[in-house]
């Protein structure tokens, strides 16, 4: 049976995504949508580039595609900068040459997933725990392409009611978690230490830190002010709001791929 999904249907026209169509005879899975967005992003990759390699179930499709194109000889002379140990392992297994920010402080292009994308292309990232390295690497990139399936699009940051992650030092983590909760109390915040380490212990990031997941009831409004306030708290290393960092967001949905570019995306 032919898929109703047409991968050639690519638009940056808002109305086109909203056009009702006949119901697709076969629904694509979320993972298939992630792969479609990832492959579209890899079209931006050129031989000779230094690439930030993202982390997560969407970014892994982009890393796999880069590995495939290198193997086929369609790309060459690529240097990858992985945003996590997991991505490093995947890239090494695919034969992608790797380096780091010390050797390559300017990155041509980073490709990564996100947990939330708002209409201004602000992001939440870090539900996989890799937010610090991602922010360092993606912040050093000339172009940052975000790849998501349409379930990640929100009206405002925190709008999914899922976690806004904050990486903190393990030292007196309860103290820092409580300071975060107090700071964000006005937005109806619950702050929980992320578990998932050995024997139900705290999840530990690649940097040896903990994560506090904040669940917010209300729109934070001035994200820049909230970001600054969080970063001023002693004990906080970084948070998962990526404000004004994405250059392009590629959204794969049942009706096609939509490309949103910074400064032409909003509202």
Ligand X SMILES: O=C[C@H](O)[C@H](O)[C@H](O)COP(=O)(O)O
108 near ligand X, judged by CB under 6 A: no
134 is catalytic: yes
In this structure, are residues 112 and 134 in contact, taking their beta carbons and an 8 Å threshold? yes
Candidate list 67, 80, 82, 128; residue touching ligand X; CB under 6 A? 128
Number of residues located near ligand X, criterion CB under 6 A: 18
Alpha-carbon dihedral sign for residues 181, 182, 185, 186: negative
Cα–Cα distance, 169 to 171 (Å, whole number)? 6
φ/ψ bin of 224: left (φ > 0), alpha (ψ from -120 to 50), beta (otherwise):
alpha
Q: Which of residues 39-78 bind ligand X (CB under 6 A)?
A: 54-59
Closest to ligand X by CB, 4 or 204: 204
| Residue 131 within binding range of ligand X, rule CB under 6 A | yes
Q: Out of 67, 129, 158, 253, which residue is the one contacting ligand X (CB under 6 A)? A: 129
- The answer to whether 128 and 56 have CB atoms below 8 angstroms apart is yes
The neighbour count for residue 118, using CB atoms within 10 Å, is 21
Q: State which of residues 52, 126, 235, 256 lies at the interface with ligand X (CB under 6 A).
A: 126
Q: How many CA atoms does the CB half-sphere of 28 hold within 13 Å? A: 23
Stretch that binds ligand X, among 9-17, 122-130, 212-220, 258-266 (CB under 6 A): 122-130
**Dist. CA 38–CA 42, nearest whole Å:** 6
Min separation Cβ 166 and ligand X, Å:
12
Which ranges constitute the DSSP H helices of the chain?
14-18, 30-42, 59-71, 85-93, 131-139, 173-183, 223-232
Radius of gyration (C-alpha) of the chain in whole angstroms: 19
Which is catalytic among the residues 134, 138, 167, 238? 134
Q: Pick from 116, 118, 134, 213: which binds ligand X (CB under 6 A)?
A: 134
* Identity of the residue, 137 or 255, whose beta carbon is nearer to ligand X in the bound complex: 137
Minimum CB separation from ligand X for residue 208, in Å? 16
CA dist 152 → 32, 148, 201 (Å): 15, 6, 29
Q: Are 65 and 58 contacting, i.e. CB atoms less than 8 angstroms apart?
A: no
Of 19-27, 41-49, 110-118, 179-187: span binding ligand X (CB under 6 A)? 110-118
Q: C-beta of 164: minimal distance to ligand X in Å?
A: 12
Asked if 125 touches ligand X (CB under 6 A), the answer is yes
Using the minimum distance from each CB to ligand X, give the nearer residue, 4 or 193.
Answer: 193
Stretch that binds ligand X, among 89-97, 107-115, 177-185, 252-260 (CB under 6 A): 107-115
Stretch that binds ligand X, among 68-76, 94-102, 123-131, 175-183 (CB under 6 A): 123-131
Question: Nearer to ligand X by C-beta: 90 or 130?
Answer: 130
Q: Is the dihedral of CA 63, 69, 72, 78 positive or negative?
A: negative
Residue 73 vs 208, nearer CB to ligand X: 208
Q: Which residues of the shown chain bind ligand X in the complex (CB under 6 A)?
A: 54-59, 112-115, 125-131, 134
**Residues identified as active-site:** 134
């Amino acid at each position: 049976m032919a898929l109703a999904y047409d991968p050639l249907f690519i638009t940056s026209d808002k109305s086109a995504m909203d056009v009702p169509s006949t119901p697709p005879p076969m629904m694509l899975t979320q993972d298939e949508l992630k792969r479609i967005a990832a492959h579209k992003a890899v079209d931006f990759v050129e031989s000779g580039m230094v690439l930030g390699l993202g982390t997560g179930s969407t970014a892994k499709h982009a890393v796999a595609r880069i590995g495939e194109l290198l193997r086929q000889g369609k790309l060459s002379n690529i240097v990858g900068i992985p945003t996590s140990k997991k991505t490093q392992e995947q890239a090494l297994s695919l034969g992608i040459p790797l380096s780091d920010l010390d050797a390559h402080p300017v990155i041509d292009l980073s490709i990564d997933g996100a947990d939330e994308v708002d209409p201004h292309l602000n992001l939440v990232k870090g539900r996989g725990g890799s937010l610090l390295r991602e922010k360092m690497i993606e912040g050093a990139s000339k172009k940052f392409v975000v790849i998501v399936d349409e379930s990640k699009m929100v009206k405002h940051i925190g709008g999914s009611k899922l976690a806004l992650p904050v990486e903190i030092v393990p030292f007196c983590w309860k103290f820092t978690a409580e300071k975060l909760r107090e700071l964000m109390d006005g937005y109806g915040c619950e702050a929980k230490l992320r578990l998932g380490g050995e024997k139900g212990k705290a999840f530990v990031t690649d940097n040896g830190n903990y994560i506090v997941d904040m669940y917010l009831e209300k729109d934070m409004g001035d994200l820049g002010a909230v970001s600054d306030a969080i970063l001023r708290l002693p004990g906080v290393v970084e948070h998962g709001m990526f404000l004004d960092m994405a250059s392009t967001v590629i959204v794969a949905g049942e009706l096609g791929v939509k490309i949103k570019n910074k400064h032409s995306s909003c509202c």
